[in-house]
A and B are shown apart, each in its own frame.
Chain A
């Protein structure tokens, strides 16, 4: 393909490399033409609603009187004082943080273990690898319902087996108890069963996500590296620590960011499992409560905004400390 490649005479538009200036201008115009439909859709259905949320957060908006309200009403900071002042805000933020960190770390760790375990060839590996994705692919409502039934104190399999095989005295209400006393070696420790169950669910449902990413990265590691280490007498743990882990660090850092963002904003899983009760009142569920239980649109918007702002602060901190690694992976 050279500069001397004119199109058929009937199609004067065809030569693409005739004059560089015009070609780049044409590409520029075509680019804008092609991108604008997508851009408009995103603008109208995503960006504008988000902007409106910001406006609503500073207005005294209730659903009943929003009909007659203009876009710009009277400005107020009441919503924020309501959000911060209402009982349980800080506790909810703490719960959200514990839930997010637990879910993120657990799912990535489990995904890493799964990827390493299913790495060498064996019969049925392909099938098992596909099966690993089931929790992630299946509808959240269906899997939460299965967990709910399985953990039920009345007819759940977990409590039944626990009582028969593990000698539990009473059934444990995993999803509705805030505190449970566990005796370990004579020490009595309070654990929050509902919060732990929700975190366990998060790990179970999202480990396939980490599994996929880590497995893809593992397959790109040149086998020579490990062979050389083996020849040098490195043990399996040393090979993991000094050969594989450095290769995996960027993808793990990226996974941490992605999972953290998604878990921090998570609504359905917690809402479906516990309804936000029993010490699992994560921030996203609070937004929903403001919206549907009190029809307090302004407070809901303010809570959503506070949630987004806290996430940005946390991400800012993260990138300050670990930024280079995640950027490396994205590049």
Chain B
């Protein structure tokens, strides 16, 4: 009885599982395929055949990309400028966040000091506060300061958003770096600061990269604060904000904006897949033995 039930289930899952896998592949990949597809056809072709999941040879065009990247002065949508803004804000955020979180993560992972547990709990608790709680006062501050501080201010806000999670990620890695490497450095006459800089940090590179990448993705993809602070000044728009603002109107063809979506998506996806492998290589495995 139960043997036949087991056999029945085995057979059922042998059929269902491939179906589920195909379905999952479809729902994750087709939207991105659709994005790329619409970005290389003229808008007339889309309106004529909305259901087409292909692009014919005579329809194929890359003028959408030219259109979306060209500066607005030259009749384009100015995405090159937006890309530059996004890159500046995101890279600035990564640098500042790592700078602010490395000492904290090190202290929380290594040093037994008064209030250690409270501090590390505080870092996590802050992460759980809704962004909207932060949005109101920051909006007021920005309204007071005017737009002159636009991109720098945005980077500062992103740092606020990413420091807690970055401390958490780095801390989890630093506890796995053996204390003995540091003790060895101390024996060789290193001060603690120097030991951190020259011994611990090089060992923590995989974690620094993973954390940096995560922070970069948050900053690059962020939308709410960019909208609150920069909406009035198109010169300072990030790619996310620019795309969202232009998508609201009707004057820019959808296929051109699809090209914008591809431009917005590619850096993050490429970085993600490039680093995914690199991150799996452990650096500490042999460090404690030599």
SS class, residues of chain A in contact with chain B? helix
Cβ-based interface call for A39 (8 A): yes
- Report B-chain residues with C-beta under 8 Å of the C-beta of A154: 47, 50
User: A37-B103, A236-B9, A236-B10 given as contacts; is B50 within 8 A of A50 (CB)?
Assistant: no
Minimum CB–CB distance from B131 to chain A (whole Å) comes to: 6
Closest residue to A64 on the B side, CB-wise? B143
**Chain B nearest CB: distance from A297 CB in Å?**
6
Q: Is A117 on the interface with B (CB-CB < 8 A)? A: yes
Is the CB–CB distance between A35 and B119 below 8 Å? yes
Is there contact, CB below 8 Å, between B34 and A30? no
Interface string of B195-231 (1 = CB under 8 A from A): 0000000000000000000000100110110001000
| Interface mask (A117-145 → B, CB under 8 Å = 1, otherwise 0) | 11000000000101111110111111101
Does A235 interact with chain B (Cβ within 8 Å)?
yes
Asked if B113 and A138 make an inter-chain contact with CB atoms under 8 angstroms apart, the answer reads no
Whether the Cβ atoms of A27 and B111 lie closer than 8 Å is: yes
Question: Chain B contacts of A38 at CB under 8 A?
Answer: 100-101, 103-105, 107, 123, 163, 167
Of the candidates A61, A145, A267, which one forms a contact with B243 in the assembled complex, judged by CB atoms under 8 Å apart? Answer: A145
User: Is B180 in the interface zone, CB < 8 Å from A?
Assistant: yes
Given contacts A128-B21, A267-B224, contact A31 B113 (CB under 8 A): yes
CA distance A175 to B75 in the complex (A): 31
User: Inside 8 A of B228's CB, which chain A residues have their CB?
Assistant: 288, 291-292
Cα A135 to Cα B26 in complex, Å, equals 12
| Chain B contacts for A143, CB-based, 8 A | 31
Residues in B with CB closer than 8 Å to A264 are 130
Q: How many A-B residue pairs have CB under 8 A?
A: 273
Q: Mark A220-245 against chain B: 1 for CB-CB distance below 8 A, else 0.
A: 00000000000001111100000000
Q: Are A37 and B269 in contact (CB under 8 A)?
A: no
Please tell me if A164 contacts chain B, counting CB pairs below 8 Å.
Answer: yes
Contact B132 A157 (CB under 8 A): no
What number of B residues sit within 8 Å (CB to CB) of A? 98
Question: Quick check: is A196 within 8 A (CB to CB) of the other chain?
Answer: no
Contacts of A149 in B (CB 8 A): 38, 254, 258
* Interface size bracket, A side: 35 or more
Residue A161, interface by CB 8 Å: yes
Contact A156/B50 with A50-B129, A130-B276, A233-B3 known, Cβ cut-off 8 Å = yes
Which of A61, A114, A234 has the most chain B CB atoms inside 10 A of its CB? A114
Indicate the member of B35, B132, B192, B228 with the most A CB atoms within 10 Å.
B132
Q: Give the residues in chain A near B32, CB-CB below 8 Å.
A: 134, 138, 146
Would you call A42 and B163 a contact (CB within 8 A)?
yes
Do residues A139 and B268 form an inter-chain contact, with CB atoms below 8 A? yes
B268 touches A138 (CB 8 A): yes
User: Are A157 and B50 in contact, with the CB atoms below 8 A?
Assistant: yes
> A14, B159: Cβ atoms under 8 Å?
no
Q: Which residues 261-311 in A have Cβ within 8 Å of B in the complex? A: 261, 264-265, 267-268, 271-272, 284, 287-288, 291-292, 297, 300-301, 304-305, 307-308, 311
Q: Are B265 and A261 in contact, with the CB atoms below 8 A?
A: no
Q: Is the CB of B183 within 8 A of A308?
A: no
| Interface contacts beyond A56-B140, A141-B264: sample of 20 additional A-B pairs, CB < 8 Å, sorted by A | A27-B111, A28-B113, A30-B113, A31-B113, A37-B104, A38-B100, A38-B163, A42-B122, A46-B129, A49-B133, A49-B138, A53-B136, A131-B25, A141-B243, A149-B38, A234-B6, A271-B224, A288-B132, A300-B135, A301-B137
The 7 residue pairs across chains A and B that have the minimum distance between CB atoms: A31-B113, A38-B104, A31-B111, A160-B51, A34-B107, A265-B130, A45-B160
